[in-house]
Structures are given as structure tokens and as C-alpha cells.
Amino acid sequence: MRRIRVGVLRGGPSNEYEVSLKTGAAVLGHLPEEQYEPLDILVDLSGRWFLRGAPVAPEELAWRVDVVFNALHGEYGEDGQVQRILERVGVPYTGSGVAASALAMHKGYAKRRFRTHGIRTPLCIELQEAHPDAARMVVEHVPPSYVLKPMRGGSSLGITFADGFHELPDALGKVFAVSPQVLVEHRIPGREATVGVIENFRGEDVYALPPIEIVPPASSPFFDYNAKYGGESQEICPGNFSPEVKHELQELARAVHRALRLRHYSRTDFILSPRGIYVLEVNTLPGLTEESLLPKSLRAVGSTFPDFLEHIVSLALE
């Protein structure tokens, strides 16, 4: 019996290229070989596609692979662009579809959807350009202090902080230097948590994994890129939450997944404050490296990484 050919798509023209290479390597190395034939599909920083090191046009994938495991992160791979390409050439793929990916990747659009569904998220303002009065506009709409984020992107890249009006101009300049659109959000102090969900898993249509509590190192103001991948953060799984808080986090992760009409799996990030639990953002293609959070929560429920990959590939083939 012929093995299922799984093209593992990694790399990509985004600032998360290196993380995607590691996620893709983890998938390539853990797909059960008795059932699947893993094929390495690399997209380089200029957007050129390679299959096992040889240049390939996306249109060729229709007869070279049976399914694509999307291990890209960030723009192009997580915002609906590559999903549109794969749908055009008729290749099934893992992860969310075109519209849901684009919606989740745009932090402003996603937050609007959260509010529509009654999901608590920090107050914010969206800035479409570096306007001379941008700092004044921020303080008129959002109370201090502030978190400034590129409107698109992940791995906490480009995020900066401002305590008040006097710090906003410099902070805005830094974020606008890397992104044409900026989200300025009220910074809510509290404990950080994240929850992954998987569709059609263990008898549930959206199964919530145990919440992970994240404690960044003292040298990092939050769970930034270095804290994520430098190995210095404490990632407590299951987190030290009461049964009531754990249940609420899991229900909110399910609600976010459904509200944005995501597919297969996702991971939602939270802040827990005395005022309640706030949703920060959702990752439609969370990292699957050795340092990543989703594999840790899988181990906490007695599931293996190869079993997870097999399940996700089967969902895509359905």
C-alpha cells in the first residue's frame, strides 16, 4: 500500500522564517514513516518554492503530494496567502482556511470579532499610518499604560511599550518602522496563559488542552521572542490555576476558535487580571518546535507528537 505523500511547507518570506524552519523540521522528523512519506517543501525568503531542494512551481504539487502540512508562520504562510495558492492548485492542507487565516492574522479585525461574540479583550486603537497626532489620538481612546504591536505578525516581534503620553512618540516610531499599521492596546498587568485546542479529538468537536502558565524571565518585560525561544521562561503545564479558572480559559479558547471559524487546531493567549480574563490574540499555526507550547500541552494529556500530526493530517484529508 502506497504511503500518503505529505508535503511539509516551511520557511517563507516572513520575519518568522527561522522558527518555521524548526517547526517544519519537527514535523518532518515525527510523521509516522509507516503511513506517510514526508516531503520537504521550502519557501525561501524571496518566495521561491523548492521540493526536496529542487525548484518547483506550486502548480506541480497537485501531482507531487497528497496533502500539505503547513508549517509556515507569520505573513504569507499564516495570513491566507499561501492558503489561497494551495486552494487554487487543488491541494488539501492543514490549518485554517483563507478567510479565517486573514481575519486572525489581523489583530484589529480579530479583536472586533472577539467583541462581537462577547469575548473580553483589552481596549485598543488601530492606527493605519504614522500620523503626526497619533500619540494624542491614542491617549484620547485608550488609558495608559500601552502595548504597541504590528497589526500583523507573530512570535511577539516588534512589540514595544509606553507608560504614558511622553513615551508614545518614540514607541510609535519604533513600531511604524517595522509595520505600516499599528495596534495600540491598553496594557493589563497579570498572569500570562495560553491554551491550545484541537478539532475532533478525544470525542470532542473542539478539545481544549490544559492551560499553560507562562512566567517570563526577569530580564524580559513579557513573553517576547527571546523569552519564547531562549529557553529561559518558565512554562508550567498544567498551569497553577484553580479548577474554575482552568475551565474558563479552556471555554474561552474554544469560543475564540469558533468565533473566528478556525480549522483543525489553534492556540489562544490570555492575560489573567483581578478584573477578569482577557484574550490577547490567537495563533492559527502555533509553533511546533521542541521549545513550543502546544507539544508540551499534548504531553501533559498523554498524547504523542506523532499521534497529533497523524490526526491533523487526517483532518486535512477529510
User: In which residue are the cell numbers 480574563 written?
Assistant: 277
Cell numbers standing for residue 34: 509507516
pLDDT the model gives residue 175: 93
Tell me which of 149, 169, 186 is where a domain ends: 186
**240 is an active site residue:** no
Same domain, 310 and 269: yes
pLDDT the model gives residue 230: 54
Same domain, 238 and 109: yes
**281 is an active site residue:** yes
pLDDT the model gives residue 155: 47
**254 is an active site residue:** no
Q: Which of 16, 66, 192, 224 is catalytic?
A: 16
**287 is an active site residue:** yes
pLDDT the model gives residue 13: 95
Average pLDDT, the chain: 93
Nearest to 120 by CA among 248, 214, 221: 248
Same domain, 114 and 209: yes
Same domain, 214 and 172: no
Cell numbers standing for residue 38: 514526508
Cα 259 from Cα 261, distance rounded (Å) = 5
Same domain, 115 and 226: yes
Q: Which of 77, 281, 303, 310 is catalytic?
A: 281
Range of the domain at 59: 4-93
Q: Which of 155, 179, 266, 303 is catalytic?
A: 155
User: In which residue are the cell numbers 494551495 written?
Assistant: 86
Same domain, 313 and 203: yes
Same domain, 222 and 310: yes
Tell me which of 145, 166, 186 is where a domain ends: 186
Residues of the chain with pLDDT under 50: 155, 223-224, 227
**267 is an active site residue:** yes
Same domain, 199 and 283: yes
Same domain, 114 and 246: yes
Same domain, 168 and 267: no
CATH assignment at residue 245: 3.30.470.20
Q: Which of 93, 229, 265, 278 is catalytic?
A: 229
**283 is an active site residue:** yes
- Which residue stretches of 199-302 are H helix? 225-229, 243-259, 293-300
Same domain, 168 and 202: no
CATH assignment at residue 30: 3.40.50.20
Same domain, 61 and 205: no
pLDDT the model gives residue 143: 94
CA–CA distances in Å: residue 43 to residues 101, 182, 271, 283? 19, 27, 34, 20
**155 is an active site residue:** yes
CATH assignment at residue 141: 3.30.1490.20
**299 is an active site residue:** no
Q: Which of 75, 78, 235, 269 is catalytic?
A: 269
- Evaluate whether 80 touches 70 at the Cβ level (below 8 Å): no
State how many domains the chain has. 3
